[in-house]
Amino acid sequence: MTYSPKTFNLPTLKGISEKQIKVHLALYEGYVKHTNLVMATIAAYGQTDDEGGKYAIAELRRRFAFEFDGMRMHEYYFEQFESGSTSLTINSALAEAASAKYGNSENFIKHIREVAGTRGIGWVVVYKDTVANTIHTTFVGDHEIGQLAGLPILLALDLWEHAYMVDYVPAEKKNYIDAFFANLNWLVVEKRFDATI
């Protein structure tokens, strides 16, 4: 099987230009292409007993999560802008879980922003821990380093510089984070949470 790039029905965004989105979507399509390429190359090397081929397969397996998570994380990201921005619904199951952990919804969002200040490229990811019935907010390096095993992803905030450098310089990362929240459709995030119940 091969993966195909998804299309996203994006409205005009506030503080994130059409050019920025176009560049970012092209990068996303690169991850889809390379996920397929890694799978196809492993399959091709799989036909040989050659020592070098076996070594190449091992390295490709190490690389697979980078390409696969690069693909999937961008799908979580762009979906969050579909249908326009909405506020976090008061009394939603997500808001209640966020309040249980962080005190209230405002503190929850404040905490995401705080984690977004982490140095380096990667993602802020909010997960639902279905075993402990709580949520976790963490920083994932690259696309795959620090992902929490088996936990459904609720929110994904891309903090690679490629996500904002068409519109902002690195020192303006905070403006990009403001734009992310200004365009975020919380209903998408709430729906992900509700799917775990």
Q: Which residues bind Fe ion (CB under 5 A)?
A: 158, 160, 163
Of 129, 139, 136, whose CA–CA distance to 108 is shortest? 136
Paired tokens of 11: 């409205």
Q: How far is the CB of 27 from Fe ion (least distance, A)?
A: 6
Burial class (CB in 10 A: 0-12, 13-18, 19+), 111: middle
CA distance 116 to 136: 14
Q: How far is the CB of 77 from Fe ion (least distance, A)?
A: 7
Q: How far is the CB of 72 from Fe ion (least distance, A)?
A: 12
Judged by beta carbon, residue 57 or residue 165, the one nearer Fe ion is: 165
Judged by beta carbon, residue 47 or residue 119, the one nearer Fe ion is: 119
Q: How far is the CB of 195 from Fe ion (least distance, A)?
A: 24
- Are 83 and 9 a contacting pair, CB within 8 Å? yes
Judged by beta carbon, residue 69 or residue 190, the one nearer Fe ion is: 69
Burial class (CB in 10 A: 0-12, 13-18, 19+), 19: exposed
CA distance 130 to 122: 24
Of 40, 57, 39, whose CA–CA distance to 48 is shortest? 57
Instruction: Find the residue with minimal CB distance to Fe ion.
Output: 158
Judged by beta carbon, residue 21 or residue 163, the one nearer Fe ion is: 163
Judged by beta carbon, residue 22 or residue 110, the one nearer Fe ion is: 22
Of 147, 146, 152, 140, whose CA–CA distance to 97 is shortest? 152
Q: How far is the CB of 71 from Fe ion (least distance, A)?
A: 11
Paired tokens of 181: 């929240």
Q: How far is the CB of 70 from Fe ion (least distance, A)?
A: 8
Judged by beta carbon, residue 31 or residue 127, the one nearer Fe ion is: 31
